[in-house]
């Protein structure tokens, strides 16, 4: 009896266990299979999220403390794709399309791309400059869909418009290619980054360091508790070397005297420090067009403009320098003993070029018949024949010349053929040619005519305005090469100075003090009795050099279709403070570039905006153009070639 009861109880126990296990299995099946997606979504709704906090972008100031940029608060609509439920993606896209007029297909693609990135915290900006009413509606949508939100961001505003466009640059959205490189540094797809100019060059300083908050949130996106927080580190600001009043005047001078030229440049530098006081590349552009979606047509107009306003011709444009390069040729010849102060060479208006068998080949023209000249007057009157001798020599007169290798060596010692190091992106290095370069690139041997052209700043030689300014500044500064720079100080968010440029001296010219002084005196003579007299300024002794570089299609008379005009100089001549370079595309050195410099220097020293040049070119200095002309031995051109000034 007892044994039978025990068997029955054991059987009931086994049945009970089986039933309980059955119920458990059914419940597990329901929870994991039938309702698994629902529970998974609920598990995701209560979770830990990390949100990034960006600091305000740093402010840029002129040297007198005037803010050149501002951060204007704007509403931006964002999406966090990982927080958009799969079943509600269409509803989210439809609602946002109706509210923001953003195409639904684009929104769905943003959500898909975001989820594919496997970054739960990555937000995407879908609309900038959202109205206040739309922002309020987005806040309401956020309570239903935590992945939809509105944030207060900043739009960069440039207070001076186009005045400093090529210096400051602009900020824009991070591209997919940029994001691939920057995401490890804390950048998000929705961030903005400096694209050009100082905004790009000093991106790290101006951006600051991001902060973040790590929180537990509920299914509605509301914070349950904050777990960790790191405040963003304030961005640094930068104080420029730019004199804002001078910059305005330089820009005004270029605009009022552009004539038919598409591009003009003027730069002023303190020769003692390398500080750029003004830099204008005309035409410029207004960086504000890139922060306003309504100005897309203006952006296209900039891209289509033949003057290339978004290209900084001051630092990135490489051109033949023409006769302003004679500073380099002349000093190299003096230092190497090729020329002395009293070395006299006659210019009959041309130099007869002979081959190795002393057979006539061609005539290299001077811009005028200048007669017998010593070194200083050859610089002042910009004799091409004199500098043909110095660069390539002249065998009939037993004059050796520098030759291309030594001239290239001195060119590089001046910093040509390499960036100056100015703190702007995309600086051109120009080109210093030599026989090895020509053989490698052109596939032809170097000939005597190449040396002649090299010596007068023509041929294959290419330089930028900032490079030629640095050349002149080093001559004025007793051979000390200063690094041109635009940032004077780095400041914190309280405008306290935290750093200043440290690398100012780039090197020293391999030239004697006597030779440097001789060149400075010759450049002073160019103002008082030479081709650079249109740059005369009341009350201050200016020293300078003009140049007219020929380029384009060669004409039947040996001249070229068009020219570039240059002037470079320094002042005061006896105690140099500043150096200046002006460049006029399709212009002349004597006729266009030097008068531009006169107006700018007159304002700098006299704060005078309306005084005409007090001197005009000497009556006996005829402004003509050099070229090559096929003549017989001993022949002289019967009529001078005409064109732009030296």
End-to-end CA distance of the chain: 133
Q: Can you tell me the distance from the alpha carbon of 392 to that of 74, in angstroms, rounded to the nearest whole number?
A: 64
What pLDDT shows up at residue 613?
Answer: 38
Domains and CATH numbers, the chain: 48-240 (3.90.1310.10), 252-284+312-629 (3.40.710.10)
Number of CB atoms found within 10 A of residue 541's CB: 16
**Structure token digits, residue 525:** 């003579």
**What is the reported pLDDT for 160?**
97
What are the residues facing 270 on neighbouring strands?
Answer: 578
HEC-encoded secondary structure of 593-643: HHHHHHHHHHHHHHCCCCCCCCCCCCCCCCCCCCCEECCCCCCCCCCCCCC
What's residue 85's pLDDT?
83
DSSP state of 65: -
* pLDDT in the model for residue 79: 85
Q: Which residues contact 156 (CB under 8 A, 6 or more apart)?
A: 57, 69, 70, 71, 72, 170, 171, 192, 199, 287, 291
Q: Where are the alpha helices (DSSP H) in 71-148?
A: 89-100, 104-116, 132-144
CA distance 366 to 381: 11
Positions of the chain with pLDDT under 50: 42, 611-645
Q: Given this model, what pLDDT does residue 3 score?
A: 64
Q: How far is CA 533 from CA 526, 542, 544, 642, in A?
A: 7, 9, 9, 20
């Amino acid at each position: 009896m007892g044994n039978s009861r025990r068997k029955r109880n054991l059987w009931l126990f086994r049945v009970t266990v089986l039933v309980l296990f059955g119920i458990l299995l059914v419940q597990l099946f329901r929870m994991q299979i039938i309702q698994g997606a629902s529970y998974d979504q609920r598990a995701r709704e209560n979770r830990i999220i990390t949100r990034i906090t960006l600091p305000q972008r740093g402010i840029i100031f002129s040297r007198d403390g005037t803010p050149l940029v501002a951060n204007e608060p704007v509403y931006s609509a964002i999406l966090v794709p990982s927080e958009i439920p799969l079943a509600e993606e269409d509803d989210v896209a439809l609602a946002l399309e109706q509210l923001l007029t953003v195409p639904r297909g684009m929104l769905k693609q943003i959500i898909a791309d975001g989820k594919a990135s496997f970054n739960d915290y990555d937000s995407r900006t879908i609309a900038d400059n959202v109205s206040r009413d739309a922002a309020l509606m987005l806040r309401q949508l956020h309570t239903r869909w935590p992945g939809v939100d509105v944030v207060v961001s900043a739009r960069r505003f440039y207070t001076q418009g186009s005045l400093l466009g090529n210096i400051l640059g602009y900020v824009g959205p991070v591209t997919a290619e940029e994001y691939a490189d920057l995401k490890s540094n804390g950048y998000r797809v929705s961030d903005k980054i400096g694209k050009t100019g100082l905004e790009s060059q000093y991106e790290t300083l101006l951006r600051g360091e991001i902060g973040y908050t790590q929180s537990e949130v509920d299914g509605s996106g509301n914070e349950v508790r904050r777990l960790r927080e790191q405040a963003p580190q304030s961005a640094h600001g930068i104080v420029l070397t730019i004199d804002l009043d001078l910059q305005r005047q330089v820009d005004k001078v270029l605009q009022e005297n552009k004539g038919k030229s598409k591009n003009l440049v003027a730069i002023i530098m303190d020769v003692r420090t390398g500080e750029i006081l003004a830099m204008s590349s005309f035409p410029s552009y207004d960086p504000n067009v890139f922060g306003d979606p309504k100005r897309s047509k203006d952006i296209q107009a900039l891209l289509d403009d033949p003057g290339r306003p978004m290209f900084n011709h001051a630092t990135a444009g490489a051109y033949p320098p023409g006769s302003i390069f004679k500073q380099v040729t002349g000093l190299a010849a003096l230092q190497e003993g090729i020329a002395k102060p009293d070395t006299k060479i006659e210019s009959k208006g041309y130099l007869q070029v002979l081959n190795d068998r002393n057979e006539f080949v061609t005539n290299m023209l001077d811009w005028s018949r200048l007669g017998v000249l010593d070194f200083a007057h050859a610089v002042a009157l910009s004799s091409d024949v004199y500098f043909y001798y110095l660069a390539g020599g002249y065998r009939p007169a037993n004059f050796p010349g520098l030759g291309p290798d030594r001239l290239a060596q001195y060119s590089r010692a001046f910093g040509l053929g390499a960036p100056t190091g100015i703190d702007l992106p995309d600086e051109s290095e120009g080109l210093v040619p030599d026989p090895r370069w020509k053989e490698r690139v052109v596939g032809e041997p170097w000939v005597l005519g190449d040396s002649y052209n090299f010596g007068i700043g023509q041929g294959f030689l290419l330089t930028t305005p900032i490079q030629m300014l640095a050349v002149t500044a080093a001559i004025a500064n007793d051979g000390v090469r200063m690094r041109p720079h635009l940032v004077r100080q780095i400041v914190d968010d309280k405008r306290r100075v935290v750093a200043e440029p440290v690398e100012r001296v780039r090197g020293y010219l391999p030239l004697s003090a006597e030779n440097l002084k001789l060149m400075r005196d010759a450049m002073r003579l160019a103002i008082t009795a030479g081709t650079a007299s249109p740059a005369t300024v009341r009350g201050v002794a200016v020293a300078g050099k003009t140049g007219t570089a020929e380029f384009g299609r060669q004409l039947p008379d040996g001249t070229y279709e068009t020219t570039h005009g240059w002037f470079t100089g320094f002042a005061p001549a006896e105690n140099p403070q500043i150096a200046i370079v002006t460049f006029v595309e399709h212009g002349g050195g004597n006729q266009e570039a030097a008068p531009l410099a006169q107006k700018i220097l007159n304002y700098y020293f006299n704060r005078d905006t309306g005084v005409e040049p007090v001197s005009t070119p000497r009556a006996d200095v005829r402004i003509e153009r050099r070229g090559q002309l096929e003549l017989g031995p001993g022949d002289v051109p019967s009529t001078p070639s005409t064109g732009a000034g030296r």
